[in-house]
Amino acid sequence: MAVPKFHRVLRGERGEAAKQKYLAYLNRLSPTLEDSKVGTGGNRPESKKLFLRLFNYDLPGTIFAEASATVPAWETVKGVTAVNARVKDNIAAPNVSLKFKKVKPARVIYRTLNDTSGTASTSHLTGLRYLKYNNKTISFPFGKASDTDTFAEAVAALKLQIPSTAKPRFQDEDA
């Protein structure tokens, strides 16, 4: 079972003042809500349409599922051999692409910038001090390379080509 965000604050382990400030924020009563930094992060990068073969569906080799990743994420990984075997940025006839509305393809999420020092900051929600790490992450979808390729084999192949310091996480296909 997942632990809710700020669970220690809600239990009062970080002080009653922090708990009350966070509860006020949740109730939209916080005066700091107006001057918070919500929505100031900039625009989302453009997306790139990608094509892959799904793990949980036994489709002919000429049918690809449509997925997407941000252009910066794709530019970072498009030269990696294990990625190129599992994701295409274009397909030609006789291949066909389909958009599966209820299917989320498998994804890799990893850090491209690993800041281990951190900068001291103050939370706008609780007023507590914490270390803010300026890590940059990317994610991209992937599928199977062949009819017999499994999710575990794909993860093993991708792990070999993604640096372990990037701490990659792999999300299985969600149907």
Residue 124 has pLDDT above 80, yes or no: no
121 beta partners: 130
Same domain, yes or no: 62 and 145: yes
Residue 75's H or E segment, with its range, is: helix 71-77
**Structure confidence by residue, pLDDT tens digits, 132-162:** 887 788 899 999 998 899 999 999 999 998 8
CA 88, CA 169: separation in Å to the nearest integer? 21
More confident position, 41 or 38: 41
**Structure confidence by residue, pLDDT tens digits, 65-96:** 999 999 988 988 888 888 889 999 899 889 89
Residue 56 has pLDDT above 70, yes or no: yes
Q: In angstroms, how far is the first alpha carbon of the chain from the final one?
A: 21
* Cα atoms in the 13 Å half-sphere on the side-chain side of 13: 6
Same domain, yes or no: 26 and 53: no
Residue 39 lies in a domain: no
Same domain, yes or no: 96 and 136: yes
Contact at 8 Å (CB) between 45 and 71? yes
Contact at 8 Å (CB) between 112 and 166? yes
Write the single-letter amino acid at 19. K
Residue 172: per-residue pLDDT: 93
Report how far apart, in Å, the C-alpha atoms of 3 and of each of 6, 7, 10, 109, 172 are. 9, 7, 12, 21, 21
CA 170, CA 106: separation in Å to the nearest integer? 7
Same domain, yes or no: 78 and 164: yes
**Nearest CA-CA partner of 55 in 16, 87, 28:** 87
- Please give the model's pTM, rounded to 2 decimal places: 0.69
Same domain, yes or no: 106 and 51: yes
Same domain, yes or no: 86 and 58: yes
CA 67, CA 69: separation in Å to the nearest integer? 7
User: In which domain, by residue range, is 19 found?
Assistant: 7-33
